[in-house]
Amino acid sequence: MSIFTFHLAEVSVMSVFKILSNPPKSENVPGLIHMECMTSMTLGSKVFSPSRILIKQLAVFAQWENESFLDEFLEKDNFGKTLAKGWHTRLLYLRQWGKINGFVIPQDTRELDEPHASVVAVTLARMRLFQVPRFIRWGRPVEKLVRDHPGISMALAAIRLPRTVSTFSVWKSQQEMLEMVQGHSAIPQPKRHSEAMAERDRKDFHFQFTTLRFKPIAEYGKWEGRTHIIPNLHTDQSR
């Protein structure tokens, strides 16, 4: 059974440009199905703020044939060793909306048995460049909604210029995530997400877009001094 991972790592600017210009490919890495390499962004920050794109923070979303190949990559590959110094979570696929090239998404969908269990959401999109201004206008309010939501344990965005954008969010419970998506959260302006999705349906910002939901099964390392980022996950380990 395949496994997904999301990694965060601090690297040099030179390393960022090297990885973004020539990311690992499945034909060169045993067991790798697909990998997206990006730089982190601060959710909700001003577009031209220095904190918007965190150039020295790598965000990597990947799919592997199994955990054995992942472990080998982290232990033996030079880039894998870099990622192993940061933080990552291992994820089991639950369901998908939309579609994007590269990943091999399972046909079956699953549900969490417990609505109060932690859940991870990943969005990944390829932008229509002429739609970027609209995307920013509708997207930043949603970024602030997710960033400030009481149900969030971690949330960030990521980008690989010129077209790829992504979000990654760890929710304390699936119920809180669904309430946010449906506009039912007990917070100011709760419908920002649903309104942006309606605008996307009216005229799409992207030529490919997917939202993926996962069950987190493990986390490793620490990020910005934090460990145990995923609530109620009892398999946390350090490398």
Banded pLDDT at 234 (limits 50, 70, 90): low
The enclosing domain of 196 has a CATH number of 3.30.70.100
Higher pLDDT: 184 or 69? It is 69
Residue 238 maps to a domain: no
pLDDT tens for residues 19-28? 999 999 999 9
Which of 87-91, 94-98, 148-152 holds the top average pLDDT?
Answer: 87-91
Residue 125 maps to a domain: yes
Banded pLDDT at 229 (limits 50, 70, 90): very high
Residue 227 maps to a domain: no
**How high is the pLDDT of residue 238?**
44
What value does the mean pLDDT take over residues 194-222?
93
Residue 239 maps to a domain: no
The pLDDT of residue 142 is above 80? yes
What value does the mean pLDDT take over residues 88-109?
93
Residue 229 maps to a domain: no
pLDDT tens for residues 39-72? 999 887 777 666 678 889 999 999 999 999 999 9
Q: What DSSP assignment string belongs to the chain?
A: --EEEEEEEE--HHHHHHHHHS---TTTSTTEEEEEEEEEE-TT--TTSTTTEEEEEEEEEEEES-HHHHHHHHHHSHHHHHHHTSEEEEEEEEEEEEE-SS----S-----S-TTS-EEEEEEEEE-GGGHHHHHHHHHHHHHHHHH-TTEEEEEEEEETTTEEEEEEEES-HHHHHHHHHT--SSSSTTHHHHHHHHHHHS-SEEEEEEEEEEEEEEEE-BTTB---STT-TT-B--
* Rounded distance between C-alpha atoms, residue 3 and residue 216, angstroms: 10
What value does the mean pLDDT take over residues 158-166?
93
Specify the number of domains making up the chain: 1
- In a 10 Å sphere around its CB, with 0-12 CB exposed, 13-18 middle and 19+ buried, how is residue 99 labelled? exposed
**How high is the pLDDT of residue 48?**
65
- Average pLDDT, rounded, for the chain: 91
The whole-model pTM stands at 0.91
Residue 231 maps to a domain: no
Higher pLDDT: 157 or 110? It is 157
Residue 55 maps to a domain: yes
**How high is the pLDDT of residue 236?**
44
Host domain of residue 159: 3-221
Residue 148 maps to a domain: yes
**How high is the pLDDT of residue 23?**
94
